[in-house]
Structure 1
Amino acid sequence: MRSTVIHVRTGRTEVVHDLTAQCASFAEAAGGDGLLHIFVPHATAGIAIIELGAGSDDDLLAALGDLLPADDRWRHAHGTRGHGRSHVMPALIPPYATVPVLGGSLALGTWQSIALVDLNVDNPDRQVRLSYLTDAG
């Protein structure tokens, strides 16, 4: 298995951050056929496979805002108002995804992208672990 960590600065706003190019570069360098596993080791972030750039990323943030409002209802209540919702979000958008790799290329659908979803405005620095698994070792 090959593995690396990439660092993402999400800033101080809710974000859907495109990781596709970095994932594709890692898979291409690894070459061959296998599985790319993407994992974010944070309790308040997730990985989504979604169409980006056509408004879907904003729609996702709006839907999460409807499902998980940034208000005072959350028992986990430190940091900014509504911070507890960031700890619930990974139950809806898990902190991982796995994508097939064929001939060193991600086998994503035409409009699919790999994105880090982060509602936690208190932590602008994220790590994402990319792990490439192949039966060739």
Structure 2
Amino acid sequence: MKSTLLSVTTGRRDTVHDITGECAEFVSGEGDGLLHVFVPHATAGIAIIELGAGSDDDLLAALADLLPSDDRWRHAHGSRGHGRSHVLPGLVPPYASVPVLGGRLALGTWQSVALVDINVDNPERNVRLSFLPA
């Protein structure tokens, strides 16, 4: 298995960060197999979603509605509403798998791979890419 760790700076606000290019570069020339994308954090997720046409903003708006940044959360260390970040992986899982055919991601026409991060207390993230050859 081939594996690498990406470092991603997400900043201090809710974000959907496109990592499709890094994923494509990682599997380039590898033949057929499976790319597994995993974020080893308790407060972030991986989404396969259309980006750049408003869907990323819609996802963040939906997450803000479902997981408001207020004082309702029992997990209450960090900034106000931090506990919502620990619920995020229940809605946006910390992993995704993408088929790879001929060294290329077999995503749909409008699909991208994105890191979803609503934890404003941790602007530095890691993403593990693992390629399993066929």
TM class by smaller structure = over 0.9
- Please tell me whether residue 13 in structure 1 is matched to residue 13 in structure 2: yes
Q: Which amino acid aligns with 1:11?
A: G
Q: What SS does structure 2 have at the residue aligned with 1:12?
A: coil
1:122 aligned residue: 121
TM, length-normalised to structure 2:
0.99
**Could you list the runs of 4 or more consecutive aligned residues of structure 1 that deviate by over 6 angstroms after TM superposition?**
none
Q: Which runs of 5+ in 1 are unaligned?
A: none
Q: What SS does structure 2 have at the residue aligned with 1:98?
A: strand
Measured against aligned partners, the alpha-carbon deviations of 1:14-59 in whole angstroms (never above 9, x if no partner) come to 1000000000000104x10000000000000000000000010000
C-alpha distance in structure 2 between counterparts of 1:44 and 1:100, whole Å: 25
Q: What SS does structure 2 have at the residue aligned with 1:60?
A: helix
C-alpha distance in structure 1 between counterparts of 2:27 and 2:85, whole Å: 30
Q: What SS does structure 1 have at the residue aligned with 2:119?
A: coil
Aligned length: 134
Q: What SS does structure 1 have at the residue aligned with 2:3?
A: strand
Q: Which runs of 5+ in 2 are unaligned?
A: none
C-alpha distance in structure 2 between counterparts of 1:20 and 1:76, whole Å: 32
2:97 aligned residue: 98
C-alpha distance in structure 2 between counterparts of 1:89 and 1:10, whole Å: 16
**What is the CA-CA distance between 1:60 and the residue it aligns to?**
0.2
C-alpha distance in structure 1 between counterparts of 2:77 and 2:105, whole Å: 39
Q: Which amino acid aligns with 1:13?
A: R
1:22 aligned residue: 22
2:68 aligned residue: 69
Alpha-carbon RMSD across the aligned residues, in angstroms, is 0.6
- Please tell me whether residue 33 in structure 1 is matched to residue 23 in structure 2: no
C-alpha distance in structure 2 between counterparts of 1:94 and 1:86, whole Å: 12
**What is the CA-CA distance between 1:134 and the residue it aligns to?**
1.0
1:4 aligned residue: 4
C-alpha distance in structure 2 between counterparts of 1:19 and 1:37, whole Å: 13
TM, length-normalised to structure 1:
0.97
Measured against aligned partners, the alpha-carbon deviations of 1:79-100 in whole angstroms (never above 9, x if no partner) come to 1110000000100000000000
